[in-house]
Amino acid sequence: MNAYLINIGDELLIGQVVNTNASWMASELEKNNIHVARIVTIADDFNDITKTLSDALAHAEVVIMTGGLGPTKDDITKTALCDYFDMQLVMHEPSLANVTDFFTKRGLQISAINQMQGLVPDGCEPLLNKVGTAPGMWFERDGKIVVSLPGVPFEMQWLMSEYVLPKLQQRLGTEAILHKTVLTCGIGESFLADTIEAWELALPTNFRLAYLPEAGKVRLRLSAHGDDKLLLQQQMDEQLAKLIPLIDTYIYGYDDETFASVIGKLLIERGATLATAESCTGGQLGHRITEVAGASAYYLGGVVAYSNDIKEQLLGVHTDTLTQYGAVSAQTAEAMAIGCRRLFQSNYAIATTGISGPYWWNRRKTIRHRVDSYCIRQRS
Amino acid sequence: MNAYLINIGDELLIGQVVNTNASWMASELEKNNIHVARIVTIADDFNDITKTLSDALAHAEVVIMTGGLGPTKDDITKTALCDYFDMQLVMHEPSLANVTDFFTKRGLQISAINQMQGLVPDGCEPLLNKVGTAPGMWFERDGKIVVSLPGVPFEMQWLMSEYVLPKLQQRLGTEAILHKTVLTCGIGESFLADTIEAWELALPTNFRLAYLPEAGKVRLRLSAHGDDKLLLQQQMDEQLAKLIPLIDTYIYGYDDETFASVIGKLLIERGATLATAESCTGGQLGHRITEVAGASAYYLGGVVAYSNDIKEQLLGVHTDTLTQYGAVSAQTAEAMAIGCRRLFQSNYAIATTGISGPYWWNRRKTIRHRVDSYCIRQRS
């Protein structure tokens, strides 16, 4: 099944907003075996919308549009859809009740313009938006599907997850799809591919493998489809049991895990605590660690020791260490980690030192953080 | 002048990569008075490329393409361009020398495949890529312009800034363009618009005003174009002299400044120092401050006091304050700021407390940091 995405909005064409909707949608559709063949960004313009929709339906089975559903006069997606499908706007009472509720809950008066958010073309299936005011819309014609969603990322994601992806999945038949992502680090994509080549070549035909590289990491997404979900899960387990031993020293987690969440899990298992001492990273390490839900169970806190004085006074780094080896050195990182562990009375401490200099390019100044040394200390 | 952007790459269609190139290019073109009418993302596919290019040239004066210029067989943009313009690939010696240099500097052997990066269609103007290996290409036909650039953001940005934008500017004539962005916070877009309505309506016709809202802030970008740069600068100064008094309590900076850079500038002016004490933000505040070049001149460091013990021991927050008002309270934030200033012997300290709880949505767990209280203390 092929899909086209149409993202409508002047803010995208002047570069004010980065189009994160397109990548999120493409990634979710891909996981559901629906291939995005083209993504088009256009203005809130009647002719542009109808022309692009017409072209998309000539090439794709599914067209998903975002944007242009707000209450202002700039937003004309509904008018264009009515024209294209030869429909009339009618009030969708549950959506009107939803909008009214949205305003009264916030103690605001609902205006006539806001009430119009409840209007939908009479031939579509409205998708009640419980996290916003503009309903989504599902159209079918000649065996093809057109979906219109609000452009607010949070609302779009909710409507996709709640209605659109399940409905598309239903349309694809009763076939089950399973995914498992193996997260690796410390090995390049091509070396990884060489290492698992024999296993990859022997994968059953209902399996697909995607390499998803990013800085320092490669995610391996294994997908399988078939009629029998139990059998599929069994096949997946078998394939993972063969894959994992081949690369186990490089695997740091699975699926949505991150370095920080994996570290957190290990600390909880051990009933251990962690503190951080940062120089050049300026607090970013602590920030990453506390992005994990429940981090307060093991993370006690940290020190950002930007000046040498603070390294000495708070972390007890010796003046000799700083003068002999420099602030950016393995010796200073180690002394910081030892001092940090002592200060916070934690089981583990991580310390970083490095260069955080201005970096000039194209008359613009940006900052690069380069960690040269780090040290992890454990209570002996 | 109207432009179409064509971003080529399978990685964009499976959602692996967010298309930040499109927003960067659109924003830079817009600043140069070139309006992006459509952005199309397509696969590394010969027919898709030629068909999309043909369609783009039917509607736009300028077409800028990115991607598909790598050395692997997936990358077929050059072949498609040769076919479309009826040209042959020839070796561009400066680009070949550049690629060779790139490899020898890194002590790597250059392969035949990598040498092919120096090939360009014989009817184009090659744009020597000094920050990468794939040259950009500039084509002209029937008064229209087609540019092909590598998809690596850093390389694309360098080639745009170095060649493409100046050449397009030259093409637009000798007209000068000036921009000034006024950064405001603490006032909503519609209130801001009401406040400056009379001034906005009286703007000379060669001026344009853009409202660029983001969370808690509105940027006002004032653009002017004309033949005489000196006169233009004078007009701009006059308009700013009228605008600024209307909204001066909301203005925190200009152009590329950020909260952190403005705070840094003020601290440097006063010869003052800053330290931070963070709870829920976990180090993010320190991270933001140290993103500014030269922050070590005023930022001494910080404490991430995630546990109450650390708030008491390191920052000297009284147990009474914590039990009576709670860890998330204005009183605790104030005590943290006072303790932080004492610990770091800084002129100023900023402290934050708040809720950092797990937030569940659609079976995914994410973390929201909500700062409930903050306190800024100055040495009395």
Interface predicted TM-score (ipTM): 0.78
- Mean pLDDT of the A220-246 span: 93
Q: What is the pLDDT of residue A341?
A: 93
The Cα–Cα gap between A241 and A216 comes to: 24
Exposed, middle or buried by CB within 10 Å (0-12, 13-18, 19+), for A205?
exposed
Quick one: pLDDT band at residue A362, thresholds 50, 70, 90? very low
Q: Which residues in chain B have their CB less than 8 angstroms from residue A38's CB? A: 13, 40-42, 48
Nearest neighbour of A13 by CB, restricted to B36, B304, B344: B36
- Element (DSSP H or E) covering residue B245: helix B229-247
Nearest neighbour of B306 by CB, restricted to A36, A157, A300: A300
Highest mean pLDDT among A174-178, A223-227, B73-77: A223-227
Cβ contacts below 8 Å, chain A against chain B, sum to: 228
CATH superfamily name and code, B261-378? CinA-like (3.90.950.20)
Local structure of residue B109 (DSSP, 8 states): P
Quick one: pLDDT band at residue A359, thresholds 50, 70, 90? very low
pTM, to two decimals? 0.79
pLDDT in tens, B41-81: 999 899 999 999 999 999 999 999 999 887 766 678 999 99
pLDDT-above-70 percentage for chain A? 92
Q: Domain A259-378: give its CATH code.
A: 3.90.950.20
- Which of these, A310, A286, A300, lies nearest to A347 by C-alpha position? A300
Asked if pLDDT for residue B7 goes beyond 90, the answer is yes
Quick one: pLDDT band at residue B101, thresholds 50, 70, 90? very high
Under an 8 A CB cutoff, do B304 and A286 touch? yes
- Which of these, A238, A193, A239, lies nearest to A213 by C-alpha position? A193
Which has the minimum average pLDDT: A103-107, A146-150, B286-290, B333-337?
A103-107
Single-letter residue type at A116:
M
Q: Do B202 and B190 meet the contact criterion of CB atoms below 8 Å apart?
A: no
As given in the structure block, the two tokens for residue A239 are 């394939």
Q: What is the pLDDT of residue A354?
A: 80
As given in the structure block, the two tokens for residue B50 are 């030629």
Asked if pLDDT for residue B366 goes beyond 70, the answer is no
pLDDT in tens, B259-271: 999 999 999 999 9
Q: What is the pLDDT of residue A177?
A: 82
**Residues in Cβ contact with A312 at an 8 Å cutoff, skipping those fewer than 6 apart:** A318, A319, A322
The Cα–Cα gap between B332 and B147 comes to: 58
Under an 8 A CB cutoff, do B15 and A37 touch? no
Nearest neighbour of B26 by CB, restricted to A13, A256, A366: A13
As given in the structure block, the two tokens for residue A133 are 């005011």
Q: What is the pLDDT of residue A361?
A: 36
As given in the structure block, the two tokens for residue A140 are 């079918």
As given in the structure block, the two tokens for residue A146 are 């057109």
Nearest neighbour of A19 by CB, restricted to B19, B37, B212: B19
Residue B9 φ/ψ region, left for φ over 0, alpha for ψ in the -120 to 50 degree band, beta for the rest: left
Exposed, middle or buried by CB within 10 Å (0-12, 13-18, 19+), for B277?
buried
As given in the structure block, the two tokens for residue B377 are 């203390």
Which has the minimum average pLDDT: A139-143, A315-319, B174-178?
B174-178
Asked if pLDDT for residue B97 goes beyond 50, the answer is yes
Which has the minimum average pLDDT: A74-88, A216-230, B125-139?
A216-230
Q: Which residues in chain B have their CB less than 8 angstroms from residue A361's CB? A: 158
pLDDT-above-70 percentage for chain B? 92
User: CA of B90, closest CA in chain A: separation in Å?
Assistant: 30
- Mean pLDDT of the B288-314 span: 92
Q: Domain A179-254 falls in which CATH fold?
A: Alpha-Beta Plaits (3.30.70)
Nearest neighbour of B283 by CB, restricted to A285, A307, A365: A285
Q: Which residues in chain A have their CB less than 8 angstroms from residue B25's CB? A: 15
Q: What is the pLDDT of residue B252?
A: 95
The Cα–Cα gap between A346 and A349 comes to: 7
The Cα–Cα gap between A115 and B376 comes to: 44
Q: What is the pLDDT of residue B189?
A: 80
CATH class of the region B176-254: alpha beta
Which has the minimum average pLDDT: B36-45, B101-110, B250-259?
B101-110
Mutate to test the interface with B, among A5, A14, A223 (most CBs of B within 10 A): A14
- Mean pLDDT of the A61-75 span: 85
Asked if pLDDT for residue A191 goes beyond 60, the answer is yes
Asked if pLDDT for residue B137 goes beyond 70, the answer is yes
Under an 8 A CB cutoff, do B287 and A282 touch? yes
Q: Is B158 helix (H, G, I), strand (E, B) or coil?
A: helix
Distances from the Cα of B364 to the Cα of A256, A257, B123, B196, angstroms: 9, 11, 53, 43
Q: Which residues in chain B have their CB less than 8 angstroms from residue A48's CB? A: 38
Between B112 and A135, residue with greater pLDDT:
A135
Exposed, middle or buried by CB within 10 Å (0-12, 13-18, 19+), for B267?
buried
The Cα–Cα gap between A80 and A83 comes to: 5
Under an 8 A CB cutoff, do A23 and B39 touch? no
Where do the domains of chain B lie? 2-171, 176-254, 261-378
Under an 8 A CB cutoff, do A30 and B24 touch? no
- Mean pLDDT of the B109-135 span: 91
Half-sphere exposure of A58 (CA within 13 A, CB side): 6
Q: Domain A2-171: give its CATH code.
A: 3.40.980.10
Under an 8 A CB cutoff, do B41 and A24 touch? no
Q: Do A311 and A336 meet the contact criterion of CB atoms below 8 Å apart?
A: yes
- Mean pLDDT of the A346-360 span: 73
- Owner of token pair 């994968």: A203
Q: Do A87 and A81 meet the contact criterion of CB atoms below 8 Å apart?
A: yes
User: CA of B118, closest CA in chain A: separation in Å?
Assistant: 24
Which has the minimum average pLDDT: A42-56, A256-270, B348-362?
B348-362
As given in the structure block, the two tokens for residue B193 are 């618009």
Quick one: pLDDT band at residue A97, thresholds 50, 70, 90? very high
Mutate to test the interface with B, among A12, A13, A30, A48 (most CBs of B within 10 A): A13
Task: Tell me which chain A residue has its CA closest to the CA of residue B44.
Answer: A37
- Mean pLDDT of the A169-196 span: 85
Q: Do A6 and A21 meet the contact criterion of CB atoms below 8 Å apart?
A: no
Q: What is the pLDDT of residue B363?
A: 33
Residue B128's CB: how many other CB atoms inside 10 A? Answer: 14
- Which of these, A248, A191, A185, lies nearest to A216 by C-alpha position? A185
User: CA of A66, closest CA in chain B: separation in Å?
Assistant: 14
Q: What is the pLDDT of residue A330?
A: 86
Under an 8 A CB cutoff, do B283 and A282 touch? yes
Q: Do A356 and A370 meet the contact criterion of CB atoms below 8 Å apart?
A: yes
- Owner of token pair 């390389």: B155
Under an 8 A CB cutoff, do A295 and B280 touch? no
- Can you give chain A as a three-state secondary structure string? CEEEEEEECHHHHCCCCCEHHHHHHHHHHHHCCCEEEEEEEECCCHHHHHHHHHHHHHHCCEEEEECCCCCCCCCCHHHHHHHHHCCCEEECHHHHHHHHHHHHHCCCCCCHHHHHHHEEECCCEEECCCCCCCCEEEEEECCEEEEEECCCHHHHHHHHHHHHHHHHHHHCCCCEEEEEEEEEECCCHHHHHHHCHHHHHCCCCCEEEEEEEECCEEEEEEEEEECCHHHHHHHHHHHHHHHHHHHCCCEEEECCCCHHHHHHHHHHHHCCCEEEEECCCCCHHHHHHCCCCCHHHCEEEEEEECCHHHHHHCCCCCHHHHHHHCCCCHHHHHHHHHHHHHHHCCCEEEEEEEECCEEEECCEEEECCEEEEEEEEECC
Highest mean pLDDT among A119-128, B24-33, B173-182, B276-285: A119-128
As given in the structure block, the two tokens for residue B279 are 């709870």
Domains B176-254 and B261-378 share a fold: no
- Mean pLDDT of the A18-45 span: 93
Strand arrangement, sheet containing A274-278: A370-378, A348-355, A274-278, A299-305, B299-305, B274-278, B348-355, B370-378
Residue B5 φ/ψ region, left for φ over 0, alpha for ψ in the -120 to 50 degree band, beta for the rest: beta
Q: Which residues in chain A have their CB less than 8 angstroms from residue B257's CB? A: none
User: CA of A281, closest CA in chain B: separation in Å?
Assistant: 7
Residue B320's CB: how many other CB atoms inside 10 A? Answer: 10
Q: Do A320 and A308 meet the contact criterion of CB atoms below 8 Å apart?
A: no
Nearest neighbour of B286 by CB, restricted to A48, A158, A282: A282
Q: At what angle do helices A46-59 and A77-85 cross, to 10 degrees?
A: 50
Q: Do A199 and A242 meet the contact criterion of CB atoms below 8 Å apart?
A: yes
Q: What is the pLDDT of residue A368?
A: 42
